[in-house]
Amino acid sequence: MTASIIGACAFSIVILLSVLIICGLPLGELTMGGQYKVFPKKLRLVLVSQLLLQVFFVIVILQMGGHLPLWFSYKTTRIILIIMAVYLSLNVLMNLVSKSKKERLIMTPLSLIAAVCFWITVFN
């Protein structure tokens, strides 16, 4: 399996968890330092916009991996992927220092796998 597919799968798990949080399931401890067990409705709206970006980034990594046609130029797609790889790398650090044990144990490995795969895809 290529790094882009592994990265897209890891990130898709994050997307699925986001959808479940948006639907009101008590999974809020997996994000934002575990501040909320069930996310308040106003914050769920913010997660919807984040969800759209997450789906976009899965598409971009699959495009860069050659699994989908490019929507943008190769250079633009690569820049988007670099930005996302940096974001995910920072996200790993934030998850590591989270007050929420669930966020540290579940989200950190997912973010790490995705970040590594995004970096590998950028440089292949």
Residue 106 DSSP class: I
Phi (first) and psi of residue 67, to 5 degrees: -95, -15
- Residue 18: pLDDT band by 50, 70, 90 thresholds? confident
Q: Which of 26-35, 58-67, 86-95, 114-123 is predicted with the least confidence, judged by mean pLDDT?
A: 26-35
Q: State the Cα–Cα distance between residues 19 and 121, nearest whole angstrom.
A: 26
Alpha carbon 37 to chain centroid, angstroms:
20
Q: Tens digits of per-residue pLDDT, 31-85?
A: 777 777 887 888 888 888 888 989 999 999 999 999 999 899 999 999 999 999 9
- Residue 17: pLDDT band by 50, 70, 90 thresholds? confident
The per-residue pLDDT for 42 is 84
Phi (first) and psi of residue 70, to 5 degrees: -70, 135
Q: Tell me: pLDDT of 26 over 90.
A: no
- Total structural domains within the chain: 1
Q: Tell me which residue of 123, 90, 92 sits closest to 108, measured CA to CA.
A: 92
Kindly report the three-state secondary structure assignment for every residue of 20-78: HHHCCCCCHHHCHHHCCCCCCHHHHHHHHHHHHHHHHHHHHHHHHCCCCCCCCCHHHHH
Q: Tens digits of per-residue pLDDT, 103-118?
A: 888 888 988 999 999 9
The per-residue pLDDT for 47 is 86
Is there a contact between 60 and 77 (Cβ–Cβ < 8 Å)? yes
Structural tokens at position 7:
């990265």
The boundaries of the domain holding residue 18 are 3-123
